[in-house]
Each structure stands twice: as structure tokens, then as C-alpha cells.
């Protein structure tokens, strides 16, 4: 079964289960208030972290360095803000884990460790030149 389809089915089931369990413990109004509170606080903190990431990225560009970590952090922060806007406790926990810089770095490290990048030596590269002959035919028209 497709992983995305499985997530689309399982995440709402998990959220409904958590709504019922937490709502029975603290009450319906408190549960709804907590959902709105986490969404508002999360989006404001995501904005704050996003601005810090943007500043760090601009600093990297001034140093003539590629801001790879900042680009990944920006994408993660956008995804975290989306998770925090969605109502639910499981998505809020994942969103807050992505927003905090320490846990975001840990998640990036674990994902990078899982997926090894292949590095090529200079001996593997072959230099060459090419001529595009189709452009000569286009000029005749």
C-alpha cells in the first residue's frame, strides 16, 4: 500500500483518538482552547525562527557560501507551520519538534545518516565539449 495513502488514513484516526482521550480528561472546551493556543503560538514561533533562518542564510550568502542548512530549515519551518495550523495533538508535537532548532538539527542528522550521499572523485569525471547541431537547423527556418 502506498505510504502517503496510509498516512492520509492513519493520521486523522490518531488525531480523533487523541481528541477523545484528552477531551475526556480535561474537558471539551479546554481541549479546543488548547488546539487554538498551540496553533497560534506555533505559527508565531515559526515566523520568528523563519526570520532567524533567513538572516543566517543571507549571512552565508555574504560569505559566498551555499546556505544549504538554511534552505532545509526554511522548508522544515514551513512544513512545521502547516502541521501546527492543522488541528490535532500529534501534528502539533511533530510541528514543535521541527520548529525548535536543536530537534530540527537532530532530525536532519538522522535523515542524513539514513541517506548517504555518494561522492565522486576527480578520477571519475570525464571532461568534454559538445556542439548543438539542432540550432543550426533552426536558423534556416
The C-alpha atoms of residue 43 and residue 9 are separated, in whole angstroms, by 25
At residue 123, the pLDDT reads: 63
Whether residue 53 lies inside any domain: the answer is: yes
Q: Please say if the pLDDT value at position 21 is more than 90.
A: yes
Establish if 5 belongs to a structural domain: no
Cell (9 digits) for 89: 495533538
Q: Answer yes or no: is pLDDT of 140 > 60.
A: no
Residue 87 lies in a domain: yes
- Total number of domains in the chain: 1
Dihedrals phi, psi of 124, to nearest 5 degrees: -80, -15
Residue 29 burial by CB count (10 A; 0-12/13-18/19+): exposed, middle or buried? exposed
pLDDT per residue as tens digits for the range 48-81: 988 999 999 999 889 888 888 888 899 999 999 8
Q: What is the pLDDT of residue 17?
A: 94
Amino acid at each position: 500500500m502506498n505510504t502517503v495513502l496510509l498516512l492520509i488514513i492513519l493520521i486523522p484516526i490518531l488525531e480523533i483518538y487523541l481528541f477523545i482521550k484528552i477531551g475526556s480528561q480535561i474537558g471539551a472546551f479546554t481541549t479546543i482552547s488548547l488546539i487554538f493556543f498551540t496553533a497560534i503560538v506555533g505559527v508565531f514561533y515559526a515566523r520568528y525562527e523563519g526570520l532567524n533562518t533567513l538572516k543566517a542564510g543571507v549571512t552565508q550568502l555574504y560569505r559566498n557560501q551555499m546556505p544549504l542548512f538554511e534552505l532545509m530549515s526554511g522548508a522544515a519551518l514551513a512544513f512545521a507551520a502547516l502541521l501546527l495550523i492543522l488541528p490535532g495533538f500529534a501534528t502539533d508535537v511533530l510541528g514543535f519538534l521541527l520548529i525548535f532548532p536543536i530537534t530540527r538539527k537532530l532530525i536532519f542528522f538522522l535523515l542524513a545518516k539514513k541517506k548517504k550521499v555518494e561522492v565522486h572523485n576527480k578520477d571519475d569525471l570525464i571532461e568534454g565539449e559538445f556542439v548543438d547541431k539542432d540550432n543550426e537547423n533552426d536558423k534556416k527556418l
